[in-house]
């Protein structure tokens, strides 16, 4: 321990005691020492000086050492209050009370030079050890945070690329899933979801069509209408998606699997693959359905031109209560300015 670098604060209303301690500490090599003979100034001085150790007298005026301890605890946010209480009393009850209030040890008056310096050094070494452990814990926490952030970003990057892979197989652009996902998070917020859950939906929804990876090209890329047998194959993609995404245990993947399985269900029960109706359809999937349909209507496809906004909104209205959750349609129309801003922010490359 480098005694020249530590800071010691002396709080005692007796100037003679302060001078004695100053001399003792100077002889021992301690150079950074602050003092006050007014205990009511101790907390403010502590906050400015940030000492490694406080030598605090118990019996003082206008406030005593117990009261100063309480004030110091309000200033010290590091959970460790480095205080040696100074007293001439040998009352176990008083000493125990001081320890309960945060004192680490005692210096008995009148001072024995050897004992006093030993207790001061021991208290400082304990303080240095505490600081070292604290700093190591902070470094470890920061490392864990950075690694967790890297893993999270990598996971999200994989998720987004998987979602885009499914979209590209279906002759759609990667911008569609970005617009749909961002719009879904905004609609979820309008529906009262927390910020954390909205972010979860933002990152889970890009995988809603991942099951299309398992659909043969002859069906998925067929230029004309699908026959009954081909539709039967196409309607398997929600189940395939749920199987690919489910069972991982993470909240994100569970929501992604939920959306993948239910995003083609319809409010009136005419959807697939399970024919769910109304609120039996997970809310996450109902939210995505509104945003997916609207963005698809506004997007250019090989088989159609983009619809005007007014016509797309009219179509969303027409599907409320049959295909789409009517309550969500109302909320969606209420944030249409935000939705259209998303359209402008993430345009298709070909637009």
CATH architecture of 7-141: 3-Layer(aba) Sandwich (3.40)
Q: What angle do CA 345, 348, 349 make, to 5 degrees?
A: 110
Q: Are 238 and 211 in contact (CB under 8 A)?
A: yes
| Residues linked to residue 57 through DSSP beta bridges, in sequence order | 86
Instruction: Name the pTM for this structure.
Output: 0.58
The alpha-helical segments, DSSP class H, found in the chain are 15-27, 42-49, 65-75, 92-100, 113-169, 174-190, 195-204, 217-220, 228-234, 237-245, 251-262, 283-298, 309-319, 326-334, 336-345
CATH architecture of 170-345: Orthogonal Bundle (1.10)
Q: Which pLDDT does position 130 carry in this prediction?
A: 82
Tell me the pLDDT of the chain (351 aa) as tens digits: 676 789 999 999 999 999 999 999 998 999 899 999 999 999 999 989 999 999 999 889 889 888 998 888 888 876 678 888 888 777 677 777 777 777 778 888 888 889 888 989 888 888 888 888 888 888 888 888 887 777 666 666 666 666 666 665 555 556 888 899 999 999 999 999 999 999 999 988 988 888 888 888 888 878 778 899 999 999 999 999 999 888 777 888 899 999 999 999 999 999 999 999 999 999 999 999 999 999 999 987 766 788 999 999 999 999 999 999 999 999 999 999 999 999 999 888 754
Distance CA 203, CA 185 (A): 9
Helix (H) or strand (E) holding 89: none
Q: Which pLDDT does position 111 carry in this prediction?
A: 82
Kindly state the tokens that stand for 196. 């954390």
Nearest to 207 by CA among 247, 262, 249, 245: 245
Q: What angle do CA 162, 165, 168 make, to 5 degrees?
A: 155
Q: Which residues in the chain are classed under CATH 1.10.3210.10? A: 170-345
Q: Which pLDDT does position 351 carry in this prediction?
A: 46
Q: Which pLDDT does position 155 carry in this prediction?
A: 62
Q: Are 329 and 317 in contact (CB under 8 A)?
A: yes
């Amino acid at each position: 321990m480098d005694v020249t670098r530590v800071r010691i604060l002396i709080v005692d209303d007796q100037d003679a005691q302060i001078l004695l301690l100053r001399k003792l500490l100077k002889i021992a090599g301690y150079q950074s020492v602050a003092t006050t003979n007014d205990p009511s100034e101790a907390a403010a001085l502590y906050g400015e000086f940030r000492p490694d150790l406080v030598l605090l007298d118990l019996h003082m005026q206008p406030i005593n050492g117990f009261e100063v301890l309480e004030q110091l605890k309000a200033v010290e946010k590091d959970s460790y209050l480095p205080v040696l209480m100074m007293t001439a009393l040998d009352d176990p009850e008083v000493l125990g009370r001081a320890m309960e209030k945060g004192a680490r040890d005692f210096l008995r008056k009148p001072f024995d030079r050897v004992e006093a310096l030993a207790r001061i050094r021991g208290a400082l070494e304990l303080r240095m050890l505490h600081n070292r452990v604290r700093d190591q814990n902070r470094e470890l926490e920061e490392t864990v945070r950075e690694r967790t952030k890297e893993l999270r970003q990598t996971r999200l990057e994989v998720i987004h690329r998987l979602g885009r892979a499914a979209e590209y197989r279906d002759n759609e652009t990667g911008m569609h899933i970005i617009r749909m996902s961002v719009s879904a998070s905004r609609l979820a917020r309008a529906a009262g979801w927390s910020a954390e859950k909205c972010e979860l939906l933002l990152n889970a929804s890009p995988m809603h069509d991942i099951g299309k990876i398992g659909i043969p090209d002859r069906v998925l890329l067929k230029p004309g209408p699908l026959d009954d047998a081909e539709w039967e194959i196409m309607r398997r993609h929600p189940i395939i998606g749920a199987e690919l995404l489910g069972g991982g245990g993470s909240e994100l993947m569970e929501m992604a699997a939920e959306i993948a399985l239910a995003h083609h269900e319809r409010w009136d029960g005419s959807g697939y693959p399970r024919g769910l109706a109304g609120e039996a359809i997970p809310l996450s999937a109902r939210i995505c359905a509104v945003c997916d349909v609207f963005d698809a209507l506004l997007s250019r496809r090989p088989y159609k031109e983009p619809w005007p906004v007014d016509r797309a909104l009219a179509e969303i209205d027409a599907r409320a209560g049959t295909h789409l959750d009517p309550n969500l349609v109302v909320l969606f129309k209420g944030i249409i300015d935000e939705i259209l801003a998303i359209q402008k922010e993430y345009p298709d490359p070909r637009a």
